[in-house]
Amino acid sequence: LTDHHLPNKSLPRADVILNPNRRDDPYPNKDLAGVGVAYKLVEKLSSHFPDLEPDNYLDLVAIGTVGDVVPLLGENRFLVSRGLSRLNQNRRQGLLSLLLAAGLTPTKVSAADIAYQISPRLNAPGRLDSADLSLELIINPDPQQTGYLAQKLEILNQRRKEKTARVINAVSKKLPEKSSLPPLLFAADETYHPGIVGIAAGHFTDRYHRPTIIGTIQGPVTTASCRSIPGFNILEALHRFQDHLIQYGGHSKAAGFNTPTATLALLESGLIE
């Protein structure tokens, strides 16, 4: 298993768990994205399997690192820089089709393009249905098929934008005036799409510079996504209320949890205090 989130006290049963945020892991870069951890595994395996070339995956490492919103410092910055160079060489047909469908210049892709154009399109199928469509796009070498898949991602991304706008508008109507906003924003409703709440939370965090939690009420259980700001570790905040949570995880700036719907008011008041 590979991961980069802060692990709970009990680890899953596995022969090997590779995670720089394990308490017993000495790796110095604790801010690797999930794709960065996977890349380090490929690097190590390549010393045993000569046909495995880690550089072939650097374009995906760049996309995953920027898309995961980890700090672009140190090793992360180095990996993204190298990955952008490879991405701009257009060696992967699926990504080339995606760039063209998004209206990007295939030889001038930047980190900002990844953040605002590429990642949202690749994430859209997983948020609304299944991520298999994005995987098929990435691994398919046929230009005709990847062109078709890229257009499907365009349609899903537009649908994702519309659903996100509806959630943002609904939450905005519940918020008080800006001068009266609490230090942490919290909203939950049955109508909020579970694949969208994380994006919506990020919108309000950026707009008001406040930690934001938005949840989808699904009967007795509510599933929520959290986004935070520098100086407020949202995962540590959730840890203080772990007795009220069914499950939670993430890192300092982004996390998620499941909680009994009956405890929402208690959780909201406790986190705001």
Q: Which helix (H) or strand (E) holds 227?
A: strand 221-227
List, in sequence order, every residue forming a beta bridge with 185; answer none if it has no partner. 212
Pinpoint the alpha helices (H) of the chain: 34-46, 58-67, 74-87, 93-101, 111-113, 119-128, 132-139, 143-174, 197-208, 234-240, 264-272
**251-268 confidence digits (pLDDT tens):** 888 999 999 999 999 999
pLDDT averaged over every residue in the chain: 95
Write the pLDDT tens digit of every residue in 124-162: 999 998 999 999 999 999 999 999 999 999 999 999 999
Q: Which of 86, 84, 87 is nearest to 111 (CA)?
A: 84
With 90 as the cut, is the pLDDT of residue 86 above it?
yes
pLDDT of 234 strictly over 90 = yes
For β-strands 254-260 and 212-218, DSSP reports them as unpaired
Tokens of 182: 């609490």
pLDDT at 201: 97
- Residue type at 71? P
- Which residue in the block uniquely carries the two structure tokens 């935070």? 228
Tell me, what DSSP letter sits at residue 11?
P
Q: How confident is the model at residue 219 (pLDDT cuts 50, 70, 90)?
A: very high
- Report pLDDT for 178: 84
pLDDT of amino acid 9: 78
Q: Look up the pTM and report it.
A: 0.88
